[in-house]
Chains A and B, each alone.
Chain A
Amino acid sequence: ETGVTQSPTHLIKTRGQQVTLRCSSQSGHNTVSWYQQALGQGPQFIFQYYREEENGRGNFPPRFSGLQFPNYSSELNVNALELDDSALYLCASGVLAGKETQYFGPGTRLLVL
């Protein structure tokens, strides 16, 4: 049990729609990172937030955006959904200091039809 929670657990959307996924970080953590995991692949880094600012971004288009709130909860927003956006979306929280680790939530399974 990592203390990282995500909602919803599953979601079905149609192409062109917008989606918001939510994450609640583990207490005491100051970073939250979002990953996309396609079936049969390893997680791919989308971006990280630290102190409510984006602190690094992977190779994802601007229609993937995020927010981190003062209580260290976070949102991932995806606009203009495409079929290839179907994946497991994972958030991970950690501490940006010294020896870094990342603790993952259970993920949100997104299906785009």
Chain B
Amino acid sequence: GQQLNQSPQSMFIQEGEDVSMNCTSSSIFNTWLWYKQDPGEGPVLLIALYKAGELTSNGRLTAQFGITRKDSFLNISASIPSDVGIYFCAGQLDPGNQFYFGTGTSLTVIP
């Protein structure tokens, strides 16, 4: 199966700071999705990306589809305590195929 590597694995930041994380693969992907998961709950879709170079925002979150199509990036501006959770990327090689999930980035926001 495909391996999606997320970095960093974990982050501890002060409230108000900006956050950057990324997801990389050795394969070219057609679609990138970003999710946030709280403990014991299902992942919540944050942003969907469908085109190389695409930059999409959702409030304080901004994600980009890498131009090589092998990576994607998620930025969170002015972090707040409710941003705490695990962020997953998910990639799809071709339409109709399965989504592969990354290893996750755990975010802790210190008030």
Contact = CB atoms under 8 A, between A and B. Distances in A.
Contacts of B42: 2, 4, 6, 90, 92, 104-107
Nearest to B43: A104
A44 B2 CA distance: 11
B103 A106 contact: no
A42 B101 contact: yes
Nearest to B104: A42
A109 interface: yes
Contacts, number: 65
A113 interface: no
A101 B40 contact: no
A95 B51 CA distance: 18
Contacts of A44: 101
Contacts of B58: none
On chain B, which size bracket covers the interface? Answer: 20 to 34
Interface residues of A, number: 30
21 contacts: A42-B4, A42-B103, A42-B104, A44-B101, A45-B98, A45-B101, A48-B98, A56-B96, A58-B1, A88-B40, A90-B43, A100-B92, A101-B33, A102-B45, A102-B90, A102-B99, A104-B44, A105-B42, A106-B41, A107-B41, A107-B42
Interface of B: 1, 4, 31, 33, 35, 40-45, 48, 50, 88, 90, 92, 95-104
